[in-house]
Amino acid sequence: MEKLLLGNVLPASPIALGCMRMAGMDDAAAEQVVFTALENGIDFFDHADIYGGGESEEIFGRVLKNNPGLREKIVLQSKCGICKGYYDASKEHILEAADGILKRLGVDYLDALLLHRPDALMEPEEVAEAFETLHRTGKVRYFGVSNQNAAQMELLGAYMQQKLIINQLQFSIAHTGLVDAGVNVNIHSDHAVVRDGGVLDYCRLNDITIQAWSPFQYGMFKGVFLGNNELYPELNAEIQKIAEEKGVTDSAIAVAWIMCHPAKIQTIIGSMNAKRIADIAKAQDITLTRQEWYRLYLAAGNPLP
């Protein structure tokens, strides 16, 4: 399986497994999920300190403890900065959160640490100091952000010694804001409104890998578009047609659509079902044509000028 080079420095699978739903699982079930992912070419595991109140990381940590040598076979990422009722990107919080993450996972270092949400009160100097401390002490190899626009990343990057290599953003066939404005340049249309400062092009210009979260959702946590024939009948019909032609599931086509983009976006899936993980992983072997990509884009209700 061909690897992605995140930020042009960190090799990883083009599909990542998000571990938010691992909270509440028993250790044996969690272990099955992890090894199913690995058996299907997925070696990147995404966490956050708020997932299950830290329980997801604790369970994953026990899987690592029970399987010596597993840590060296995977790429491990977590996120911090979301607190109850506020966001916190202060130096003190980042350092404390990173130590908590490492303790729960039972590891000495993270391959990547991301700021989970933009903090309106962020002082970039503090973030840079925290990141430098974590890097110097060997606790974190690389850094990134989540849900930030181009200017926010530029501001933070101006103070950092390390390079930001990741931005985690919502993207799916039914949540296409990353590409809409680029398709509708100079058009008087809601699709032409630039809401993210041109973050897709910014990331491509600066070798920052976009990680797509919620690849099967429409809106922000409004629901899943796959199988939703009430809201997305045309899209589901088109997905099913292409899926049948290629002998895969509809979820594999939804991920292949994201992976088709030349920005080399890494897709984060969140299933804890072994069969579904294996089915989705087949997207790594699918190449959609330009015509198929646009057929799906149009079927989701997006106009072409």
Per-residue pLDDT tens for 252-261? Answer: 999 999 999 9
Single-letter amino acid code for the residue at 42: I
Per-residue pLDDT tens for 152-205? Answer: 999 999 999 999 999 999 999 999 999 999 999 999 999 999 999 999 999 999
Per-residue pLDDT tens for 17-31? Answer: 999 999 999 999 999
Neighbour-count burial of 133, counting CB atoms closer than 10 A to its CB (0-12 exposed, 13-18 middle, 19+ buried): middle
How many Å apart are CA 264 and CA 186, to the nearest integer?
26
Using the structure block, give the residue that is written with the tokens 């294996």: 278
Neighbour-count burial of 233, counting CB atoms closer than 10 A to its CB (0-12 exposed, 13-18 middle, 19+ buried): exposed
Per-residue pLDDT tens for 214-255? Answer: 999 998 888 999 999 999 999 999 999 999 999 999 999 999
The answer to whether position 242 is within a domain reads: yes
pLDDT of residue 119: 98
The answer to whether position 269 is within a domain reads: yes
Per-residue pLDDT tens for 47-99? Answer: 999 999 999 999 999 999 999 999 999 999 999 999 999 999 999 999 999 99
Domain membership of residue 93 as a residue range: 4-299
How many Å apart are CA 215 and CA 224, to the nearest integer?
9
The answer to whether position 33 is within a domain reads: yes
Of the chain, the percentage scoring pLDDT greater than 70 comes to: 100
pLDDT of residue 222: 85
- Going 78 to 84 to 87 to 91, the CA torsion angle's sign is negative
Q: Considering its fold, how many domains does the chain have in total?
A: 1
| b/e burial code for range 273-288 (CB count within 10 A of at least 16 → b) | ebeebbbbbbbbebeb
The answer to whether position 304 is within a domain reads: no
Single-letter amino acid code for the residue at 108: D
pLDDT of residue 2: 86
Neighbour-count burial of 190, counting CB atoms closer than 10 A to its CB (0-12 exposed, 13-18 middle, 19+ buried): exposed
Report the predicted TM-score, pTM, of the whole model to 2 decimal places. Answer: 0.97
Average pLDDT score, the chain: 97
Q: Is residue 293 classed as helix, strand or coil in its secondary structure?
A: helix
80 forms beta bridges with 115
Give the 3-state secondary structure of 154-212.
HHHHCCCCCCEEEEEEECECCECHHHHHHHCCCCCCHHHCCCCCCHHHHHHHCCCEEEE
Residues taking part in catalysis: 51
Q: Is the pLDDT of residue 1 over 80?
A: no
How many Å apart are CA 205 and CA 200, to the nearest integer?
9
The answer to whether position 305 is within a domain reads: no
Tell me phi and psi for residue 199, to 5 degrees.
Answer: -65, -30
Nearest of 180, 99, 173 to residue 140 by alpha carbon: 99
Helices 150-157 + 124-136 axis angle, to 10: 60
How close are the terminal C-alpha atoms of the chain, in Å? 37
Q: Read off the CATH number of the domain in which 106 is found.
A: 3.20.20.100
